[in-house]
């Protein structure tokens, strides 16, 4: 069983829709949770970072962590065609020497 599970998609939505991207994980030792966005033929770039449980908002993006359910989410409001990319969740913790464990990524397509 993978440590981090992420639905690969592709997820196709119309412009303006609210998008929900999710990851589940198995190890309760994870403390730091991140979302990366990766455009085609580019390296991943950090979108959101959260420590432990709770919500964090940045513009149209909201990251949510529920440690009791071992579940994290990224919400994108008013999605735009420029949001079309692969979204990778990643997590880390002291037990991992702060190395990152990644999900496989969800491909998102926002249609104009």
Partner 1 sequence: EADIYQTPRYLVIGTGKKITLECSQTMGHDKMYWYQQDPGMELHLIHYSYGVNSTEKGDLSSESTVSRIRTEHFPLTLESARPSHTSQYLCASSPHMSSTNTLQETQYFGPGTRLLVL
Residues that bind partner 1 (CB under 8 A): 2, 4, 8, 32, 34, 36, 41-46, 49, 51, 88, 92, 98-105
d(CA 12, CA 83): 11
Minimum gap (Å) between residue 52 Cβ and partner 1: 9
Q: Closest CB to partner 1 among 42 and 111?
A: 42
In sign, the C-alpha dihedral spanning 94, 42, 46, 57 is negative
Q: Closest CB to partner 1 among 75 and 96?
A: 96
Angle, alpha carbons 87-76-47 (nearest 5°): 50
Q: Closest CB to partner 1 among 62 and 93?
A: 93
Q: Is 45 exposed, middle or buried (0-12, 13-18, 19+ CB in 10 A)?
A: exposed
Minimum gap (Å) between residue 100 Cβ and partner 1: 6
Minimum gap (Å) between residue 8 Cβ and partner 1: 6
């Amino acid at each position: 069983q993978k440590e981090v599970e992420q639905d690969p998609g592709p997820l196709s939505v119309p412009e303006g829709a609210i998008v929900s991207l999710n990851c589940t994980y198995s190890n309760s030792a994870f403390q730091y949770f991140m979302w990366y966005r990766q455009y085609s033929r580019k390296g991943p770039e950090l979108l959101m970072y959260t420590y432990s449980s709770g919500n964090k908002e940045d513009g149209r993006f909201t990251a949510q962590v529920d440690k009791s359910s071992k579940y994290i989410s990224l919400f994108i409001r008013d999605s735009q065609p420029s949001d079309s990319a692969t979204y990778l969740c990643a997590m880390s913790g002291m037990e991992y020497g702060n190395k990152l464990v990644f999900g496989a990524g969800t491909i998102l397509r926002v249609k104009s």
